[in-house]
């Protein structure tokens, strides 16, 4: 790929999102001109923090209205852009009635619509897609089929569906669709970032992020009696932003990139929080045996199938490719967890409790 002209605007979709906010912040701090899209530019909770960033940085920001399910709605925001970062996609694993409408349709059709605009915009040279390790694997039990039980960029999730792990299914379909569209032309190239569970401080007060929900549930008494033995691949949101920046501007960047600092259990996260914040909050102190977790699953808003296929199965994600080809290094997970919880407290999302 020829070098990106940094005097041209750069489109970052899904500007009100948790990850997108940090990407926009980084690009603005580098003095770049950023276009971003949100569903409702008149909603203060979606744009106020973005406008504040722009005010306090050397870059320029323009906010456009666009909807993932509205074909052509990204065309105007993309005019004259050589670089498009597509981050917009729903991220929640529960609390919906219809997985296809809530997750699968917006993820897949949104990718089709954004890349449709890319194909109509002759200036675009590169697309960076925010995918997920959810497109690498569906359940942690899947690691048993991986060489040395280590997931790499060669692996694709083939165990999820709209009925089981629908979020993972939506990310897999969306990324697969992006690769198909990319291969059908030769003007622009596609680079994919596959983050693990993204934690770290948020730039807005949005509480709908699954990342915020995970930390809140570990500290608000939801898991007071204990947590399942569940391994999670973790990465700091600030490192995810850096990965997108490097994927955008390194001419040799190509393919998929697992962006993960490491893997920890829910109990590891709880222990980290307890070590830093003591007994002010009801952090869980023990793991619930898998048979008891299976029985109690409905009370924790998870399915028994999920318990069967994920609890008790360790995973390892290789971040070698991102370190070698995106020049990535990663913050320690403990630092990420502590910084995230401090932000939650500063934002008033949780009040001091008793363990």
E strand or H helix that includes residue 316: strand 316-317
Burial of 22 (0-12, 13-18, 19+ CB in 10 A): buried
Torsions phi, psi of 201, nearest 5? -60, 145
| Residue 85: C-alpha distances to residues 153, 202, 215, 349 (Å) | 20, 19, 27, 30
Q: In terms of Cα–Cα distance, which of 84, 79, 322 is closest to 188? A: 84
Per the CB < 8 A criterion, the answer to whether 99 and 162 are in contact is yes
Exposure string (b/e) for 74-91, b if CB count within 10 Å is 16 or more?
bbebbeebbbbbbbbbbb
- Catalytic residue numbers, as ranges: 171
Give the Cβ contact number of residue 298 at 10 Å. Answer: 9
For every residue of 86-145, DSSP letters joined together read: E------SSS-S-HIIIIIHHHHHHHHHHHHHHHH-TT--EEEEE--GGGT-SSGGGGGG
Per the CB < 8 A criterion, the answer to whether 134 and 260 are in contact is no
d(CA 24, CA 35): 9
């Amino acid at each position: 790929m020829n070098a990106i002209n940094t005097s041209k605007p750069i489109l970052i979709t899904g500007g009100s999102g948790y990850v997108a906010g940090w990407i926009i912040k980084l690009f603005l701090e580098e003095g770049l001109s950023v276009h971003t899209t949100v569903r409702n530019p008149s909603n203060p909770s979606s744009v106020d923090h973005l406008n504040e960033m722009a005010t306090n940085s050397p870059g320029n920001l323009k906010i456009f209205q666009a909807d993932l399910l509205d074909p052509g709605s990204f065309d105007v925001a993309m005019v004259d852009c050589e670089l498009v970062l597509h981050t917009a996609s729903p991220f929640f694993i529960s609390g919906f009635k219809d997985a296809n409408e809530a997750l699968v349709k917006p993820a897949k059709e949104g990718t089709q619509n954004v890349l449709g605009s890319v194909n109509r915009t002759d200036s675009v040279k590169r697309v960076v897609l925010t995918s997920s390790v959810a497109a690498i694997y569906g359940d942690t039990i899947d690691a048993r089929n991986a060489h040395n039980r280590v997931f790499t960029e060669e692996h694709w999730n083939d165990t999820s569906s709209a009925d089981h792990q629908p979020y993972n299914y939506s990310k897999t379909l969306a990324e697969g669709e992006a690769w198909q569209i990319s291969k059908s032309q030769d003007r622009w190239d596609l680079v994919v970032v596959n983050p693990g569970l993204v934690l770290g401080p948020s730039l807005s007060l949005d509480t709908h992020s699954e990342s915020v929900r995970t930390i809140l549930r570990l500290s608000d008494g939801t898991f007071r009696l204990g947590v399942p033995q569940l391994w999670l691949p973790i990465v700091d949101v600030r490192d995810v932003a850096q990965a997108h920046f490097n994927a955008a501007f390194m001419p040799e960047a190509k393919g998929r990139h697992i962006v993960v600092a490491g893997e920890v259990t829910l109990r590891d996260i709880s222990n980290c929080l307890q070590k830093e914040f003591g007994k002010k909050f009801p952090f869980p102190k023990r793991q619930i045996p898998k048979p008891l977790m299976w029985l109690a699953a409905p009370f924790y808003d998870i399915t028994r199938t999920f318990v069967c296929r994920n609890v008790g199965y360790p995973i390892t994600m290789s971040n070698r490719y991102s370190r070698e080809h995106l020049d990535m290094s990663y913050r320690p997970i403990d630092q990420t967890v502590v910084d995230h919880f401090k932000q939650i407290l500063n934002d008033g999302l949780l009040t001091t409790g008793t363990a």
